[in-house]
Structures are given as C-alpha cells and as structure tokens.
Amino acid sequence: MKSILVWVSMLQLVRLAVPSNFPDVEKDPRYWRDNGRQTLEEALRLQKLNTNVAKKLILFLGDGMGISSITATRILKGQLKKELGENSCLEMDKFPFVALSKTYNTDSQVPDSAGTATAFLCGVKTNRGILGLSAAAELGNCNTSKGNEVDSILKWAKAAGMSVGVVTTTRINHATPAAAYAHSADRNWYSDADMPPDAIRQGCKDITWQMINNIEDIEVIMGGGRKYMYPEGTPDVEYPEDPNANGTRLDGQDLVKLWKKKKPSSKVSTYVWNRSQLMAIDPSKVDYLMGLFEPADLQYELYRNSSTDPSLSEMVNVAVRVLQKNPKGFFLLVEGGRIDHGHHAGQAKLALHEAVEMDKAVGQAGKLTSVKDTLTLVTADHSHVFTIGGYPPRGNPILGLAAEKSDMDGMPYTSILYGNGPGFKINEGKRENITSVDTEDVNYHAQSAVPLKSETHGGEDVAILAKGPMAHLFHGVVEQSYIPYAMGYAGCIGTNQDHCGGRKGHSQLSP
C-alpha cells in the first residue's frame, strides 16, 4: 500500500512539472460561462426544425473514422495552424445533430466495410465481405446472389429523377463505393480476373462491369481503379512501364469505351485521368464525368503529386458543380477511404492527414450548397482500435510522446496507441526505447499492444453528424441500416413518400 502511495505521489509531481500551455483567459470562469451560454443559445435556436424537402443529399463517409480519430483529427488540424489543437473546430464539428451508429455485421461483432456499406447505403445489414446483397447470401458463393439483391439510396435517387455521384480516394470499385451500384457475393471481385471460374460460369459479374451496366446514368464517378477497366496487359496511361498497373480484364472489354458508348450523343461525357484534365473542364457544360486517377487506390494525401492527382476536396468541388445543374436535385456519396488504410498500416500520421483533407472537402461542399435544401451527413462505416491517452499536456503534439514514462518498464510511449498492429516491438525482452525516435515521421508505426501485420477495425459505435432538412432525424443510438431510410425520408425518395407534400415540404413528420 505504501509503495502505491509513493508511486501516486511521484506521478502527481511529474504532472505538476508539466508547464501550463493553455491560454490565461481559460483561468477565468467567465470564459467557460460565456462559452456555455453561447452554446445554449445555439441549441435553443435549433428548436425551430428544418422540415424542408432535401433536394440535395450528400453522404460523407470517413472509412475507419471512429470518434477517437475525429478527436485526433481536430487536434492535428489545429496544430497544423500552430494552435494548441484541442479546442479547434472541424467543419464536421459544426453540424448540429449527432447520433451513434451500431456497426456490427449480421455475422460479425466487428464489421468490415462491405457489410457496413450495404447497411448505410441499402438499408439492410448483411454478412462480412458481401456487397448489395442480404444476409441470405454467402460469401464467395455466386449461386446465393440471385433473389437476394438489395438496392441502394443511389438507385432510389435515380428513380426520382435526381443526378447521382460517387467520389472516393480508394479505387472506385472498393467496398464503400461498390455498395452503391453493385451486388456481389465477394467484395474482392473487382474485375473478372479476380473471380473464381465457377462464379463466372454461374453468371455473376465483376464489380467494375456492374458499375458500367447496373446503373448506366451515374453522372459523376471519381476515384482510382483504372486497371480494372481495361483488357489484361493493357499498359497504364500514367505508368506504362509498371506491369502491376496494367489492365486486368479477361473478357477483353474496354469499359471506358463502353461507358462513353452508353451515353446519349446529345450529352457531354468526359473521361479524365489526371488533375490538370479535371481542373480544365467546365462543370456547367459536362453531363457525365468519369475521373480515374490511379490504377488502384489514389495516393495518400501526404504523398499526393499535386500536379497530377486531385485532392478529395477538389474532386468534391467539381462533383457538386456538375450535379447541381439538375433542378430535381442530386445524391452524392463521398468517401475518405484511405483513413482506413493508414490505420491498418499503423501509420497514424497518414490516417489523420486523410481525415483532415476529408474535413476540408466537407467544408467545400458546404460552400457550394445551402442548409435550406441540402441534407449533409458525415459518418463512418466502422472504427479502429485507435486511442489517445497518457495524460499529455495541452498542445502536446498529437503524434508525439505522452508526458510520462511507463511505471512498469520505465520506457516512454506515444499518446496515440493501437490495440494491435505492426507497431508492436520488443528488443531483448523489453519494449523499444523511443526517446530518440521521430514519432511524427510519416513512416512511423505507432505502438500497439498486440503484434499483427495489419491493425484491425474496432467494434464500437461511430458518430453520425447531420445538418440540413430533417437532420433532427439523426439522434440517439441507431442501427447503421437506418441511415438511408432517414435520408430517403428527408429527400422524398424511396418507397416512403406518403408524407411528402408535392416535394415542396413534409406535410407530416410521422412516417
């Protein structure tokens, strides 16, 4: 007992030795009282609910962006501006309504991105690894696909005459974007080269083929995934010497040509593969836009060549301007997909910079639209085993060391930690001494508790942040599959339209 008290006293001394980095104004209780009063006044103003019809629907999906990732992103965004960071404000922080989403798949406590995407786009929970199919389908079994297809909110929007778009930093046929248009018993069936022969014989189609053929009139498609569009061995336009960038299709089809062929001759259809081409188009004169900027996933934001590859915010800027010409409105899915990849690699710096860029894209969409007629959501498909701890002082670099060393082995540790992943290191039976290690280097793998080649998803609830017409429908703790129904209700699309007064307003609030 005495040793515990001594240890606690030492810990308190360590904390007392940390310099005070917070502003003097925060020492005055009036600062916090004024803050509380202002926040209360804003909350009271929200009592007048926005019940307009949402003519424009935008769903931002931060892949793997759990609540701890949002917090770390907020701090990083502030620190990039030379602020302390903790009291900074993300664009998504400004959204007035918040709910929590339960992310489990029907067969898995901790989900994958295919099952979750089917939930938040199609309104039906399903099994891990399955896209656009109910839980009656079996992973990898083509024969279980027929009759179990479920349609997404993107298709509901098309049926209502709206324009639709899909923008991602991953390949356009990756799990999240694919659930908007495809039905696949395996999320990895990017092209027919990725499918088992029996699935092809049984009539199943690869995801990229479905993108071109299932919903022909997707007005905007932007992301990566060029190689899945071209016949096997076709050299890539940007990396002709790299065999890994070559086309993969075994059916010999050039899906870019097919995409153009399917478009009406009276419409302007534009295909681009680099940033300069994208920036050169006039959105007011383009009806259909496909931009595929990498053979597979786009480069991480920190590695992005700004002369050849567009940022997520730049893609969103063009997408909204193309889509908003339709007087009936639009639905746009935007995925910050490489947040997830950075976390899987245990490279928090990559993940958080991806999230900062996605927040910038949220702000860009907000500048181009109005809360009067645009329902905007920011959410995640799942979280990661990613935490912030260790009692660091205010303003401590979010990617830096915690303020104190472990009382068990005397070694320092990072304030950002992963529950598992590649950052687990033991040298001569001891944890690594990272005192002189640059933990803010982009290639640094944040420390983890369990050694794994790839860090895993987390199973906790994720946030849904909402603004615009009927945003108040997002509150409490909900199933992830609730999301498209509430968006459809707000936009008067889908099967539930009895409450809509001629698309001018909601005549009643109960479904």
Catalytic residue numbers read 113
Cα dihedral 482→484→486→488 (10° resolution): -150
What's 92's DSSP letter?
A: G
User: How would you class 238 by CB atoms within 10 Å of its CB: exposed for 0-12, middle for 13-18, buried for 19 or more?
Assistant: middle
State whether residue 97 is helix, strand or coil.
strand
d(CA 135, CA 118): 10
What is the radius of gyration, based on Cα positions, of the chain? 24
- Beta strand 220-224 with 386-388 is unpaired
Whole-Å CA distances, 350 to 354, 443, 475: 6, 8, 31
Q: Give the count of beta carbons closer than 10 Å to the beta carbon of residue 40.
A: 10
d(CA 150, CA 316): 27
Alpha-helix runs per DSSP H in 292-337 = 312-323
Residue whose C-alpha is closest to residue 60's, from 492, 468, 348: 468
| Contact by Cβ (8 Å): 190, 173 | yes
State whether residue 450 is helix, strand or coil.
strand
Maximal CA-CA distance, the chain = 84
| Contact by Cβ (8 Å): 289, 322 | yes
